[in-house]
Amino acid sequence: MARKLAVIGAGLMGSGIAQVSAVAGWEVTLRDITDAALKRGTDGIKASYDKFVSKGRLTADDASAALARISTTTDLDAAQEADVVVEAVFEKLEVKHEIFRALDKLVRDDAVLASNTSAIPITKIAAVTTRPERVVGTHFFSPVPMMQLCELVRGLKTSDETLATAREFAESVGKTCIVVRRDVAGFVTTRLISALVVEAAKLYESGVASAEDIDLACKLGFGHAMGPLATADLTGVDILLHATENIYAETRDEKFAPPELMRRMVDAGDLGRKRGQGFYQH
């Protein structure tokens, strides 16, 4: 019997998680609040499958079968029968609380409730449920079909069984996992990239070096595949701004305080690749 996954949020991350899970044989229900959002998500999945087929990394039959395993809905009740539920909505605690309160009343007692958050402590998300031991972080990376890492995050009350199930799920869809044993804001990866992006943006803002040279220093000096400012453009300047703000609000550590430039870029809509302009023109 096929394992059942519900993904809440059909944006870039949610649709990517749905995509890799369907290829791995999971029966996926993708939920968002509008049909338009669901169409954007499924159109992106289809386009990605087509690209994999054209490159010989997926057969046309396997792509069709995977697509057939994805159903869409605007009804949260569709998560009732899921073995695993992954929330992938906007990075605001109030939004996630609303989702987890509702899921807590809907899903099976043995279901795992996972959040794809990149920075918000899992313990804070789990606190609004009656089952914090069943809540865990499954932080995937963008673009999900290409990136190999999944960061598993233990909340204060996450059980060993829940963590094991989350690992089994992530590994079943082809990911390699690291475990965050202490639930700090930003976990491991977001703390590292946020500190690097914030410092790189400050260097750029103050005229120390160009964006190109800052990124080239990280690539050639540290062996990074992509520089921090190019990473910000790929991820979304707004996404990284929210992440750094979440970490700073929790820690009050100045190395996570985003520079004014990042705020103004977001105000101006210069969000990176998705808008054609960020630290670079795309």
Kindly indicate the confidence band of residue 88, based on its pLDDT and cuts at 50, 70 and 90.
very high
**Res 223 pLDDT > 80:** yes
Residue of 112, 110, 245 lying closest to 190 (CA atoms)? 245
**pLDDT given for residue 181 in this prediction:** 96
Are the folds of 4-180 and 194-274 the same? no
Kindly indicate the confidence band of residue 89, based on its pLDDT and cuts at 50, 70 and 90.
very high
CATH superfamily assigned to domain 4-180:
NAD(P)-binding Rossmann-like Domain (3.40.50.720)
Q: What is the DSSP letter of 85?
A: E
Over the stretch 118-147, which tens digit does the pLDDT of each residue have? 989 999 999 999 999 999 999 999 899 999
Share the mean pLDDT of the chain: 96
**pLDDT given for residue 1 in this prediction:** 62
Single-letter amino acid code for the residue at 153? V
**Res 24 pLDDT > 80:** yes
**pLDDT given for residue 29 in this prediction:** 98
| Residues 248/88/154/21 CA torsion (nearest 10 deg) | -140
Contact 100, 126 (CB under 8 A): yes
Which CATH topology does 194-274 take? Answer: N-(1-d-carboxylethyl)-l-norvaline Dehydrogenase; domain 2 (1.10.1040)
**pLDDT given for residue 91 in this prediction:** 87
**pLDDT given for residue 94 in this prediction:** 96
Where in the chain are the domains? 4-180, 194-274
**What are the distances in angstroms from CA 86 to CA 21, 47, 147, 266?**
11, 22, 17, 27
Segment 33-41 mean pLDDT: 97
Over the stretch 236-282, which tens digit does the pLDDT of each residue have? 999 999 989 989 999 999 999 999 999 999 999 999 999 999 999 99
**pLDDT given for residue 142 in this prediction:** 86
Q: How far apart are CA 258 and CA 194, in angstroms?
A: 9
Kindly indicate the confidence band of residue 202, based on its pLDDT and cuts at 50, 70 and 90.
very high
Over the stretch 39-59, which tens digit does the pLDDT of each residue have? 999 999 999 999 999 999 999
Residue of 242, 229, 82 lying closest to 169 (CA atoms)? 82
DSSP-based three-state secondary structure for 29: strand
Q: What DSSP assignment string belongs to 103-122? A: HHHHS-TT-EEEE--SSS-H
**How many other β-carbons are positioned within 10 Å of the β-carbon of residue 268?**
11
